[in-house]
Amino acid sequence: MNTAVEIENVTKRYGDVVALSSVSLAIEDNEFFTLLGPSGCGKTTLLRSIAGFEQLSQGDIKLFGDSIVDLPPNKRPVNTVFQHYALFPHLTVADNVGFGLQRQRLPSHEIASRVADILEMVQLGSYADRLPSMLSGGQQQRVALARALAPRPRLLLLDEPLSALDLKLRQDVRVELQQIQHDTGITFIFVTHDQEEALTMSDRIAVMSEGVLQQVGTPRQIYEAPDNRFVADFIGDTNLIDVQVTQVLDQCATCVLPGGASIACNNMAGASVGAGHLSVRPERVTLGPVDGSALQGEVSRLTYLGTDIHVTVALSDGGKMDVRVQNSDSAAIPQPGSTIGLYLDIAAARLLVD
């Protein structure tokens, strides 16, 4: 496969604030790549650096092998769908979509036909002469997409394009976006702080925190084999149990749980003897009798979630564990206040160093 974008050691500082700290990343051609992280972690900054709106403090960005850091934004074959769309309010939908084509000095009949085609593709053919302020949020979002796609860029950057839409619409647009990416074959870099969005849409995800790249991988890798505590905690719900690693042998670590029970764990992100953390998803813990269980505690709270029941258990050493029990099995649902044993699915528990 071909590498579309290579981000090499990119650092961006705003005075004392480090928005990006030595980020290195390679994005393949035709990939739907997502940057995921909490707000303020530097996703927009990275995107704007690729688009050309930020001067890097350090590092290099290559597009299909050529460095682009010295090119102004209007010379980069990259288009952006802006966070709040930035549709030109004084131009009609058609003029907005044709803006980039006009700047490329295409003949006017070709501009007209390409604008018409792309508006058809996003199902806005009959809105060509409207002003953006006369469109709904979802329609504006599609105009922004059409405008960015019209010049046929080699790389499309999308900065939280769905965050302004309501839930139902967002789910429809997710599918549409994936379809468009598939049909056009353009590499997408998609920014979001919504982990569900990232998991469902992406080929690969890069998780960021405070300007630092935490992990890059497929949605499945990110969810099931997080590299560190931040990723485990940020993607989905998890229980992080402080454990003491007493021995590491052949990819198998012996961990001592707070209660003193010892378990063997071979799912790990590099472990060494000493303090560690065991990440167990709530759905991978089962409740059972106290005798023979790895951990014990008192049920402190039940939360009704519809399909599931969320059980919070206060451990005897002061910690707490979240457990998800399917609502179908009413016998398995404990009473608040009762003492109960917790059984971990060792295969799904991941040992993390930090």
Partner 1 sequence: MRKPFDIKRYPGFFPITCLCLFLLYTPLIVVMVYSFNDSNSITNWGGMSLRWYEEVFYGVESQKFKKAAFNSLSIAICAAITATTLAVCAAMAMLRTGVFRGQTLSFALINLPLMVPEIVTAVATLVFFSAIGFKTGYASILIAHIVFCIPFAYLPIAARMQSVDATYEQAAQDLYATRFEAFRLVLLPLILPGVISGFLLAFIISLDDFIITNFVKGAGIETLPTAIFGSVKQGIKPSIMAISTLLLLLSVVFVTLSYFVGRKGQQTP
Partner 2 sequence: MAQIGSSARSSVKGGTFAGLGPLLMLPSWVVIGFFLVLPVILMLVYSFLTKEFRGGVIWEFSVNAYDQFFFNRGLFGDEAPTIEWTYINIFWRSIWQAGLATVLCLFIGFPTAWFIATRSGHSKSMWLFLITIPYWVNLLIRTISLKFLIRDTGPMNTWLMSWGIIDQPIHIINSNLAVQLGLFYSYLPFMVLPIYASVERYDFSLSEAAADLYSTRMETLRQIIIPVVKPGIIAGCILVFVPSLGAFLAPDLLGGSKTFMIGSLIEEQFKGNAGNWPFGAAVSMILLSLVLIALMFYARSQSSARKATRAAD
Q: Which residues bind partner 1 (CB under 8 A)?
A: 51-53, 72-75, 78-80, 82-84, 86-90, 99-100, 103-104, 131, 133, 147-148, 151
DSSP 85: B
> Looking at 250-349, which runs of residues are DSSP E strands?
252-256, 262-265, 274-280, 285-288, 295-304, 308-315, 320-326, 339-344
Residue 147 contacts which entry, Mg ion, partner 2, partner 1, none (Cβ below 5-8 A, type-dependent)? partner 1
Cα–Cα distances in angstroms (integers) from residue 161 to residues 26, 44, 140, 321, 324, in the given order = 22, 12, 10, 36, 32
Which range, of 34-42, 55-63, 143-151, 288-296, touches ligand ADP by CB under 6 A?
34-42
Q: Is 49 in the site for ligand ADP (CB under 6 A)?
A: no
Interface with ligand ADP (CB under 6 A), residue total 11
Cβ proximity to Mg ion, 44 vs 187, nearer residue: 44
Q: Is 76 in the site for partner 2 (CB under 8 A)?
A: no
Q: Is 44 in the site for ligand ADP (CB under 6 A)?
A: yes
Cβ proximity to partner 2, 53 vs 88, nearer residue: 53
Residue 275 contacts which entry, partner 2, ligand ADP, Mg ion, none (Cβ below 5-8 A, type-dependent)? none
Q: How far is the CB of 36 from ligand ADP (least distance, A)?
A: 10
Task: Give exposure, 244-260, as e/b (b: 16+ Cβ within 10 Å).
Answer: ebeebeeeebbbebbbe
Cβ proximity to Mg ion, 44 vs 140, nearer residue: 44
Q: How far is the CB of 57 from ligand ADP (least distance, A)?
A: 12
Q: Which residue type occupies 36?
A: L
Q: How far is the CB of 331 from Mg ion (least distance, A)?
A: 47
Beta strand pairing status for 239-249 and 274-280?
Answer: antiparallel
Q: Is 159 in the site for partner 2 (CB under 8 A)?
A: no
The per-type count for the chain, helices as H runs and strands as E runs, is 8, 20
Residue 226 contacts which entry, Mg ion, partner 1, partner 2, none (Cβ below 5-8 A, type-dependent)? none
Beta-carbon contacts of 163 under 8 Å, excluding residues fewer than 6 positions away, are 83, 192, 193, 194
Cβ proximity to partner 2, 31 vs 54, nearer residue: 54
Q: How far is the CB of 296 from partner 1 (least distance, A)?
A: 55
Q: 21: helix, coil or strand? A: strand
- Taking the C-alpha atoms of residue 338 and residue 322, their distance in angstroms, rounded to an integer, is 15
Cβ proximity to ligand ADP, 78 vs 128, nearer residue: 78
Q: Which residue type occupies 126?
A: S
Residue from 2, 9, 14, 110 that binds ligand ADP (CB under 6 A)?
A: 14
- Taking the C-alpha atoms of residue 301 and residue 136, their distance in angstroms, rounded to an integer, is 43
Q: Is 39 in the site for ligand ADP (CB under 6 A)?
A: yes
- Taking the C-alpha atoms of residue 35 and residue 5, their distance in angstroms, rounded to an integer, is 13
Cβ proximity to Mg ion, 43 vs 114, nearer residue: 43
Cα–Cα distances in angstroms (integers) from residue 231 to residues 34, 207, 214, 220, 339, in the given order = 14, 7, 7, 12, 31
Q: Is 322 in the site for partner 2 (CB under 8 A)?
A: no
Beta-carbon contacts of 24 under 8 Å, excluding residues fewer than 6 positions away, are 7, 8, 9, 10, 213
Return the H-helix or E-strand segment holding 267: none
Cβ proximity to ligand ADP, 41 vs 294, nearer residue: 41
x/- binding map, residues 20-59, to partner 2, per CB under 8 A? ----------------------------x----xxx----
Return the H-helix or E-strand segment holding 230: helix 229-234
CB neighbours of residue 168 within 10 Å: 9
Strand partners, 13: 18
Which residue of this chain has its Cβ atom nearest to ligand ADP in the complex? 44
Could you list the residues that contact partner 2 (CB under 8 A)? 48, 53-55
Could you list the residues that contact ligand ADP (CB under 6 A)? 14, 17, 19, 37, 39-45
